[in-house]
Amino acid sequence: MKIRVYGHFICPWCQKELTNCAQIIWGAAGESYEMGQKLRWYQADNFTVNPNTYYGDFLVNYGSPVYNDVLAFDVVEYSPESEWVCRSCSQVIGGLAIKIVNQIIQGYKVFNCTEIRTLLKDEDENIEVFILKEDTYVPYKFPDEFGMSTNTKTGEIFKK
């Protein structure tokens, strides 16, 4: 179950709307947001937020609220193996990322393919989230023990 962020996501090349919903995996699964809203996280019985934790079948925290600057890519449209093309101008879109600062959905960025390759550097897998560390965005890798994986064709998240 993904997190939905609603807004008008505009193609930077033709200024037409690409989509009105980005689906990310960061925060409490199943939640919906608009720009400017604060992320919610599921809490344990002692009111602590446990990162990357299942609280039953559908209550899941993806990621961790300890990171203050996050780029979370749309997992439905974004995949290094697939090609997303603007319906209006036919520009190839590398990806759409939601920018989260201090747990607030601050905005978004549309990446071209070159920018995606630069961001991925030497990573050979599909990275859905990047966190800011020492002035550079680095891949956030969900722990293996979390047992999560993303189907790159459908964007569905499933337990391994």
CA dihedral 70, 71, 76, 81 (to 10 degrees): -130
DSSP H/E element including 114: helix 113-120
What pLDDT sits at residue 117?
80
Q: Are 152 and 82 contacting, i.e. CB atoms less than 8 angstroms apart? A: yes
- From 76, 114, 71, 75, select the one nearest 94 (Cα to Cα): 114
Provide the residue ranges of all domains of the chain, joining segments of one domain with +. 3-159
- From 9, 15, 7, 8, select the one nearest 89 (Cα to Cα): 15
pLDDT digits (tens, 9 = 90+) for 110-157: 988 888 888 877 665 677 888 988 888 888 887 765 545 443 334 444
- In total, the chain counts a number of residues equal to 160
- From 108, 132, 100, 92, select the one nearest 26 (Cα to Cα): 100
Cβ neighbours of residue 114 under 8 Å, at least 6 residues apart? 94
What pLDDT sits at residue 136?
87
What averages of pLDDT result for each successive group of 10 residues across the chain (160 residues)? Answer: 90 94 91 94 82 71 90 78 83 92 95 84 75 87 58 41
3-state secondary structure of 49: coil
* Sequence letter at residue 95: G
